[in-house]
Structure 1
């Protein structure tokens, strides 16, 4: 009398085993390693280990085209503080956001993308102070494949800046704090918006709190700008000859203005002539790396542009360089709106609109 029960149990066991086997087949994945030629990297990436390239600067990205319904991203994060946007099929208004855990982990993006061709962009929202990350590849469906790479833009822009350029607090509430890494998104900073509008590749060299003469920490931009690794002041060296921008934007001195005039932290307090000279020296360093690039010396949109004092330092430095024969250098200023915190996305968009128009006119883009 127990035979029917036994038969039912056997049948259920067979069904369960079949279901498990089917699930394992449907979820089977393959790893596409970082040295695959069909990945497109943008930004200062350290390829010392081609199987685990190191990314640290805000806005560093990895793009690919692939087939199959499944996608996971493999990252090995140094500190567990970074955030990444994963943009699938160009939908940058609804990205998958990765809060990286410390160490090596695989992050499932989707198992139901739909059949056919897909695109992915892995974008570092945060900056060097959140640490570096090793990219270990992507996982796609076992039957999928990486396709020919996305086309790389021919136009190139590089930008040097501080928290404004990084995008500090740009996704925070207008009446909320703006220091959280989760609300820092370089993708919606003015430089990145401008580059997309101009269909240009962008390298962002920025660090929240940094200045030309003084920073909120123990190093300044002239000591930092030439690194391949953005995690603090270190001995890594970027090879400037391997990527040459058409346009270089420099948006600095916000922290200098606050720390010198308000906090009185730089002693003795530099004279007007010394402030101009320090800024001019840094711009000359950039010019020495890129003799033919169009340089744009910017400032704003925080309170350094509230009055003309600090913009005038920039104007005088640029005028001095023009007198010395540099005819490919200009200025642009983003007006202080009265908002006391870091610019939010709406302000970044307004600043990007102004910068985009300026570059388009200057470069005939």
Structure 2
């Protein structure tokens, strides 16, 4: 009987060993890891990802792959794309605390690519990335080349990708169905081969939000988690093109919900937009700024687009700023957040517009 128990224990241990291969540890500060986005590197061994679309890329060899993440809340989701399989990524739901996540066994010997992309936003908290675990004989290879073109977006839930994976007749507020990778800005950036930073928060506005802070108070943060004192160093990264897609929440909260008292006049609405765009212009004197809106119901008529048109006209006149343009995404009549099909169409429209404007 003792011999049988001993053999059984050995067999179980062998099975466990077969499922969990020996690992080569790659720390988060490895030079061959390529980070994109506003990422907090206060701890180089555990950089914090909080903004949607923040990403890590690598090339590696080996036959297995695991990640080590330490998530604040347990509400974040990530796309883990191996060997460019964008249509069918490994969708990782981060658990609260530090955990190891097995991504793939039985990869073919040879070279592989990896892309880890944050689907969710600051409302779901931040995640510390603590490195990779590769198979025993594996190694990192030089990272992919960075795109030379750079884009940045300031927006609300539309730009975040809120609900874009939801059913057309279903809810659109679930973290599991929020996928910034397929938001219009990400679609456009891939089409243009541009590096993208997306600075967005669902529910945010320029004058008023669904919570106590607005984009003028939020846009310069290093961390996307709530209203905080962290500050992004704008000298670290300068975009060629900035897209501002805001005023959707202002339109609801001012006209429908009457959340501001007194109600701002048309002139005050226009000036609020001017003030925010000028704050972006102060950071990026040479960037092309595209003042966009949509594709939700703020573009159902010309009222709110006309505020933006008037603001751009005012800035051209007062500040001789000719690097301004407007672009409006058509409202399709669909009453919820855009789904992926709408994001793809809007991303293609944005990419074509930028290509013409920038001669890309």
Superposed pair shares fold, TM > 0.5: yes
TM range (shorter): over 0.9
How far the C-alpha of 1:24 sits from its partner, in A, is 3.6
Cα separation, 1, equivalents of 2:53 and 2:250: 24
After TM superposition, the structure 1 = structure 2 runs for residues 65-104 of structure 1, keeping only pairs within 5 Å, are 65-104=59-98
Number of the residue aligned with 1:63 = 57
1:334 pairs with 2:300: no
Distance 1:172 1:15, change over 3 A: closer
Take 2:42 and 2:131, find their aligned partners in 1: how far apart are those partners?
A: 16
Measure, in 2, the Cα distance between the counterparts of 1:82 and 1:22.
31
| Counterpart pick for 1:28 among 8, 22, 25 | 22
Counterpart for residue 354 of structure 2: 359
Query: What's 2:210 paired with?
Result: 216
Instruction: Measure how far apart 1:191 and its partner are.
Output: 0.2
Whole-angstrom distance in 2 between the partners of 1:17 and 1:102: 33
Structure-to-structure mapping, 1:194-343, within 5 angstroms? 194-323=188-317, 324-343=319-338
Q: 1:184-199 residue pairs with structure 2 within 5 A?
A: 184-199=178-193
1:115 lines up with 2:128 in the alignment: no
Cα drift, residue 22 of structure 1: 8.9
Name the SS for the 1:182 alignment partner: helix
Aligned residues: 358
Secondary structure in structure 1 of the residue aligned to 2:66: strand
CA distance 1:170–1:22, change in 2 (3 Å): closer
What CA distance in whole angstroms lies between the structure 2 residues aligned with 1:145 and 1:116?
A: 10
Structure 1: distance between partners of 2:10 and 2:161: 51
CA offset digits 1:134-155 (Å, max 9, x no partner): 0101110011001111111110
SS in 1 for 2:141: coil
**Paired residue secondary structure (2:249):** helix
Larger radius of gyration: 1
Secondary structure of the 2:268 match is: helix
User: Residue 31 of structure 2: SS of its match in structure 1?
Assistant: coil
Judging changes above 3 Å, is the alpha-carbon distance between structure 1 residues 257 and 19 closer, same or farther for their aligned structure 2 residues? closer
**1:23 and 1:254 mapped to 2: Cα distance?**
53
Once the 2 structures are TM-superposed, how far is the Cα of residue 114 of structure 1 from its aligned partner? 1.4
Q: Match of 2:195, SS?
A: strand
In 2, Cα distance between equivalents of 1:300 and 1:218: 23
In the alignment, structure 1 segments of 5+ residues that lack a partner are none
RMSD, aligned CA: 1.7
TM-score, length of structure 1 as denominator length: 0.95
**Structure 1 residue ranges, 4+ long, deviating more than 3 angstroms after superposition:** 12-26
Match of 1:153 in 2: 147
- 1:271 is displaced (CA, Å) by 0.0
Residue 290 (structure 1) shift: 0.1
Counterpart secondary structure, 1:277: helix
CA distance in 2 between counterparts of 1:16 and 1:215 reads 59
1:355 is paired with a residue whose SS is helix
| Paired position in structure 2 for 1:38 | 32
Distance (Å, rounded) in 1 between the aligned partners of 2:311 and 2:327:
13
Q: 1:105 aligns with which of 69, 94, 99?
A: 99
Q: Paired residue for 2:125?
A: 131
Distance across 1 between alignment mates of 2:8 and 2:95: 37
2: CA distance, partners of 1:182 / 1:22: 33
State the distance in 2 between where 1:214 and 1:304 align.
15
